[in-house]
Structure 1
Amino acid sequence: MDHAQLAKDIVRYVGGEENIISLVHCTTRLRFKLKNADLADKSLVSKLTGVIKVKIIAGQFQIVIGTEVNDVYREIMKLTQLENTIKKHNSDEGKVSLFNEAIDIISGIFTPLLGAMAGAGILKGLLIVAVSLGVLTEVDGTYIILHAAADSLFYFLPIHLAYTAARKFGADPHVAVAIAGALFYPDIINAYNQEVHLSFLGIPVALMKYATSVIPIILAIYVTSKLESVLNKVYPKTIKKFFTPLTLIAIMVPLTLLIFGPIGNTASEWLGIGYSFIYESSALVAGVLLGSSWQILVIFGLHWGLVPVALNNLSQFGQDTFTAMITPAIFAQAGAALGVWLKTKSRKIKSIAAPAAIAGLFGVTEPAIYGITLRFKKPFIIGCVAGAIGGAIVGVSGAGSKSVGVPGITTLPIFFGEGFMLFLFGVIISFLLAMIGTYLLGFQEHIENEKGKEIDEGFKSESKKIDDSIVLSPLTGAVISLKDVKDDVFSSEAIGPGVAIVPINGDLHAPFTGSVTSVFPTNHGIGLTSDAGIKVLIHIGIDTVQLDGKFFDMKVHYGERVEQGQLLGTFDLEAITKEGYDITSPVVITNSHQYLDVISGDDENIAAGDRLLTVITQL
């Protein structure tokens, strides 16, 4: 492939450099944002040598190149004066409904904060326990300092949300923070506390408390992003750098105090009233519904849409019963995974079930769901039933969290207070019921087939009886079809055939002996070529390019020789999951056209080093 010529042709056919707003790339594709999409000729770009597919998605003109995308990208940057701007919008595949778009916006705003919220929440919970046990008092200097550390994120939550919302909506984050900061300015706070009547240009201002609020600042920053886009087009280049922020701050701070604050706080009150009506009508029923359905929502990614409910409850009532009622559902899936570990005789399944159960106890249930319970179906159902029972108990207990946190062993202190012992009983019961129920009722193991122990021992004990080449699994986890991957470039096999793995740990191993032919700048993808000539692309997670290398540590470099089983790199599975990213990792053969066929095994769960793909060479 002539990368320079391809770069030149692509720029010409997308309407020229002047039609390009920004360009970024992920592991396989170039992602253009164009001023006028009608100027881009999709048909001509599709016919270029080296282009696999062209897609127009969510306002982006995407060109699928494959493993050589980075080389083409570099040539385009050499050819043009384009700057490698920071991508500010999520690049979802396909058209999305208003509901899905709302879920995406909510997750994009809140998930970057979850890690910090969990840490601060745990500290806040520990302080509550310390005061209750008499270890500290609220007037101790130690308590005052640690409480300030734990509570500052929640008190100044609108400022944090302003930053994440600005990145999601494409606004200037620093302007957004300035707008949010004005809500906490001492003069504004004093006017509120002293009930001073303020007016702006003769219009009365309804002052209110913005600490821990959610909706007002999100509304304000959304409007800010739209206004900023207009101002950048109106102001000349020579002055817009200064006059756009000036105009935004001067307009949006008064508008937030006059309009978005009252509207947002009213919406928050209505949300709180609606939740209270449901909870107070029957806490038991609410617990059953949440306990049984929460993990189903997790599967479809819909759980992110309910994060504002928990935050709003804390803001309106000082505690959140919603988070308490979903906690048994999380522990139940961990218990079901542990039940599978106790029941199965397969060492391979045990090697996956044990770490999946441990991850579940710490609040990360995706490995347990995708790797064990959902694959065997019955354990997942048992877990949902156990979660419903535990949720009912917790609902009746009246327990609630005093802070935000991902439910797990480390965050249990945030629930300390009224109803805590009954809450703890509900959580333990859900865990034990799921574990014992799975063990007693059993499940159908599809893993063991006619090859029996030969499969379970892995490829190392298998004789090579046909002229083929073997690709071992680079990851440990659940194997799924590429068709089930939520990225149609992979699911359509445009890059090549293969499978996807939902990993249960963060170790990436070499699937064969060969060389590293590409390592992507964000370290979430790697290309390898075996000594036999097989080219493999391993892509950790979906859309994880947006993490910009965070949580990934690649230990090998381009051109380096690697041995079968060698540790290529590591990634923080728990952190990536908590950021809201799908951890499903495609493993594909990118030069499959050179072979007769690529055959995947029947294993639904696999350990690193086991036989994953068989490449049938041409005769």
Structure 2
Amino acid sequence: MRYSEVAERVIAAVGGVGNVSNAWHCMTRLRFDLKDAGKADLAALEAIPEVIGTNVQNGELQVVVGTEVEKYYEQLADQLGLADKAGDADGSGAKRGWVALAMDTVSGVFGPIVPAIAGAGMIKGLMAGLAALGVISNKNDTYLVIDMIASGVFTFLPFFVAASAAKIFKTNMFMAVAIAAAMQYPTMTAAAAAKEISAFMLFGIVPVPVFNYAGTVIPIIFSVFALSHIYRWVDRVLPRVLRTVFTPTFSLFIAGALALTVIGPIGIFLGNQLAAGVAWLFATSPILAGIIFGATRPIAVFTGLHHAETPIALQNFANRGWDNLMPMMFMANMAIAGATAAIYFKVRNKDQKTVVASAAVSGLLGITEPALFGVLAKYRRAFVAATIGSAIASTFFAVFGVRIYAYILSSIFSLPAYVGPYFPFALAGIAIAISTSFVLTLLLVPAEPAADATPVAEAAPQGSGGAKGDQVELVAVARGAFVPLEQVSDAVFASKTVGDGYALQPADGDVYAPVSGTVTVVFPTKHAIGLKTDDGVEVLVHLGIDTVSLKGEGFEVFCAPGDRVNPSTRIARVDLDSVRRAGKDPVILVLVTNLGKVSTVNEFDGADAALQRGDSVVSVSAAV
């Protein structure tokens, strides 16, 4: 599917163009602020083959699409007209708490610039390793030239942060970069290097503190935030005829003066306090520090808040020339890869093994979202194993004081950056992280039974829901009236955009599996359950229309990812009266979502026909 088509389906699934207040992306995720979160259909999103997973965090919808996120975002932004919304404020962020908003903002700002930081950091790490081994001298011209290529990103980091923050705060990007340029103008940097004065005097009375803003991030984020409000205020109060010239003039002067006199110094203070707090924790109890940062890293990546740690690491590099948080991130990635690799020996299906192997390799290379969303989200015990492995390895690093001297992507290829006194500990830490999470996963996660281990014919009632030759039958999941899919009230389902199958208006709330197979996903809102047959047919059971907004109220789920089910297995219960009182349609949809894997879907003939649980409704012919 082309990037534009994926973007179109994503927009439709989040409620349409009119429901999107803002959208941006990080390294692997499309991120949305929605006007009405209840209009987002997570099941429809999950049904898009290119979507690895979804997550809702503090009111922000995250759609994980992998490392090609920028290509998807380009099409998404074009279809949403985001380029035309730079000066449009909707204040949607005010709906979330200040702490959550700050974390989301930092994550959103750093996501797009991580490739530049990671690429430059990798070069710096490799050069540092070669210098430590004596392969090249750090006085060599070649070393100096390559160091310029790598260090430019970190020296002028405020420029990159300014451009990214301008998109988040919906203000003019070049005005934001102008603020960063003022903060790093040679007059300021030279004064900071000379250390002869502590402040300039603006108008002879207003002190402008002297700081070196190179490599800092918090001051420029706050400054661009202020610029976004100042620009809109100035543009609003000026007569229209004066705006073209004087809106940027007054905005730049006011925002620049505030950045240099108030916002920048406060940002420096906050950055230093954060770094000092982390340093205090490591100095007070390395074990506690390792446990805290190691155990929270996997869930931070899963919720999309992991970039919030980046400013602290960068502040450490700016203040001390080294950092001890990045090694913790390294250990977390290795633990995630180890737990994922163990799942390879637990699954039976060849397609699943391919997905798991790919995700494990991706984790070793520093990209953990495929492992987290594609594998560990389905096997919660494996996620726990990865968390334990990360905590143990990170504690090991903290106790032995492992540090790194350049920002670098936390992957197996970052090892050269550890060459030196900490290199043996880095090797030991990798072994601890991978082996601990791998072994724990093998112990905690039960193996899937062989394909012929479930006696479907004996266990299932009429309409086994199993394969007949090359066919898979979808049976009625409850007692009720058959509804042709085209007649359901949701246009996305009715158009079969999500998938093909049948709908059923239930007479009671007990819901059973429509097929024999494995539970692949249970949505946090309990309104949708994903299944996969041994033949690879993916089936979605969606309980009600627009019921994601009920946030689980009225739903009870009796299965979990990884469970084996058949049509005699009760998978959920719906409080039909509660759903109806909320103004929602309780119709149940049973859909085959990976239509590319099937050749035909033989539909049931008989609208409004009464169905009993287990009755054969739809048969699916597997593609040859």
TM bucket, shorter chain: 0.5 to 0.7
Partner SS, residue 199 of structure 1 = strand
Q: 1:89 to 1:417 in 2, by over 3 A?
A: farther
1:27 aligned residue: 12
Distance 2:279 2:174 in 1: 36
Q: 1:448 to 1:289 in 2, by over 3 A?
A: farther
Kindly provide the amino acid, as one letter, of the partner of residue 302 in structure 1: L
1:199 aligned residue: 201
Distance 2:427 2:94 in 1: 43
Q: State whether residues 157 and 217 of structure 2, in contact with CA within 8 Å, keep that contact through their aligned partners in structure 1.
A: yes
Distance 2:90 2:107 in 1: 10
Structure 1: 5+ residue runs without aligned partners? 1-24, 36-55, 68-76, 486-490, 502-508, 512-595
Kindly provide the amino acid, as one letter, of the partner of residue 314 in structure 2: L
Q: 1:390 to 1:288 in 2, by over 3 A?
A: same
CA deviation after TM superposition for structure 1 residue 302, in Å: 3.1
Distance 1:134 1:334 in 2: 32
Alpha-carbon displacement from aligned partner over 1:69-116 (angstroms, at most 9, x marks no partner)? xxxxxxxx9xxxx99714678998994333322222111111111111
Alpha-carbon displacement from aligned partner over 1:109-145 (angstroms, at most 9, x marks no partner)? 1111111111111000011011112222122111111
2:604 aligned residue: 617
2:359 aligned residue: 356
1:208 aligned residue: 211
Partner SS, residue 345 of structure 2 = helix
Q: In the alignment, is residue 234 of structure 1 matched against residue 244 of structure 2?
A: no
Alignment of 1:499-538 (within 5 A): none
Kindly provide the amino acid, as one letter, of the partner of residue 212 in structure 1: G
Distance 1:411 1:213 in 2: 23
Q: Which of 297, 316, 327 pairs up with 1:324?
A: 327
Q: 1:110 to 1:34 in 2, by over 3 A?
A: closer
Q: Which of 292, 297, 302 pairs up with 1:294?
A: 297
Q: State whether residues 104 and 305 of structure 2, in contact with CA within 8 Å, keep that contact through their aligned partners in structure 1.
A: no
Q: 1:185 to 1:84 in 2, by over 3 A?
A: closer
Distance 2:473 2:34 in 1: 48
Distance 1:213 1:363 in 2: 24
Alignment of 1:127-142 (within 5 A): 127-142=127-142
Q: State whether residues 286 and 399 of structure 2, in contact with CA within 8 Å, keep that contact through their aligned partners in structure 1.
A: yes
2:100 aligned residue: 100
Partner SS, residue 198 of structure 1 = strand
Alpha-carbon displacement from aligned partner over 1:237-271 (angstroms, at most 9, x marks no partner)? 22212211111222222222221222111112211
Distance 2:148 2:229 in 1: 35
Kindly provide the amino acid, as one letter, of the partner of residue 289 in structure 2: A
Distance 1:612 1:312 in 2: 56
Alignment of 1:387-406 (within 5 A): 387-406=390-409
Distance 1:446 1:614 in 2: 28
Distance 1:480 1:613 in 2: 23
Partner SS, residue 85 of structure 1 = helix
Distance 1:62 1:343 in 2: 36
Q: In the alignment, is residue 463 of structure 1 matched against residue 465 of structure 2?
A: no
Distance 1:293 1:58 in 2: 27
Kindly provide the amino acid, as one letter, of the partner of residue 147 in structure 2: H
Q: In the alignment, is residue 264 of structure 1 matched against residue 267 of structure 2?
A: yes
2:434 aligned residue: 431
Structure 2: 5+ residue runs without aligned partners? 1-9, 22-31, 46-77, 458-465, 476-483, 486-495, 502-517, 539-586, 607-624
Alpha-carbon displacement from aligned partner over 1:470-493 (angstroms, at most 9, x marks no partner)? 9699xxxx97558448xxxxx97x
305-314 or 439-448: bigger deviation: 439-448
1:85 aligned residue: 84
Q: In the alignment, is residue 170 of structure 1 matched against residue 170 of structure 2?
A: yes
Kindly provide the amino acid, as one letter, of the partner of residue 198 in structure 1: F
CA deviation after TM superposition for structure 1 residue 446, in Å: 7.6
Distance 2:353 2:40 in 1: 39
2:122 aligned residue: 122
Distance 2:95 2:450 in 1: 36
Q: What CA RMSD, in Å, does the superposition of the two structures yield over aligned residues? A: 4.3
Size of the aligned set, in residue pairs, is 452
Q: 1:320 to 1:84 in 2, by over 3 A?
A: closer
CA deviation after TM superposition for structure 1 residue 316, in Å: 1.9
2:590 aligned residue: 599
Alpha-carbon displacement from aligned partner over 1:165-191 (angstroms, at most 9, x marks no partner)? 111111211011111111222233233
Q: 1:168 to 1:328 in 2, by over 3 A?
A: same
Distance 2:302 2:186 in 1: 45
Alpha-carbon displacement from aligned partner over 1:495-515 (angstroms, at most 9, x marks no partner)? xx89599xxxxxxx999xxxx
Question: Percent of pairs identical after alignment?
Answer: 26
CA deviation after TM superposition for structure 1 residue 403, in Å: 2.5
Kindly provide the amino acid, as one letter, of the partner of residue 271 in structure 1: L
Q: State whether residues 327 and 408 of structure 1, in contact with CA within 8 Å, keep that contact through their aligned partners in structure 2.
A: yes
Distance 1:61 1:374 in 2: 22
Q: 1:599 to 1:233 in 2, by over 3 A?
A: same
Q: 1:401 to 1:613 in 2, by over 3 A?
A: farther
Distance 2:90 2:322 in 1: 32
Distance 2:193 2:369 in 1: 46
Q: 1:437 to 1:416 in 2, by over 3 A?
A: same
Alpha-carbon displacement from aligned partner over 1:500-555 (angstroms, at most 9, x marks no partner)? 99xxxxxxx999xxxxxxxxxxxxxxxxxxxxxxxxxxxxxxxxxxxxxxxxxxxx
Distance 1:97 1:500 in 2: 36
Q: In the alignment, is residue 305 of structure 1 matched against residue 308 of structure 2?
A: yes
Q: State whether residues 323 and 407 of structure 1, in contact with CA within 8 Å, keep that contact through their aligned partners in structure 2.
A: yes
CA deviation after TM superposition for structure 1 residue 339, in Å: 1.4
2:251 aligned residue: 248
Q: Which of 363, 371, 379 pairs up with 1:376?
A: 379
Q: State whether residues 125 and 408 of structure 2, in contact with CA within 8 Å, keep that contact through their aligned partners in structure 1.
A: no
2:182 aligned residue: 182
Kindly provide the amino acid, as one letter, of the partner of residue 140 in structure 1: N
Q: TM-score, normalised by structure 1?
A: 0.63
Q: 1:355 to 1:92 in 2, by over 3 A?
A: farther
CA deviation after TM superposition for structure 1 residue 450, in Å: 6.4
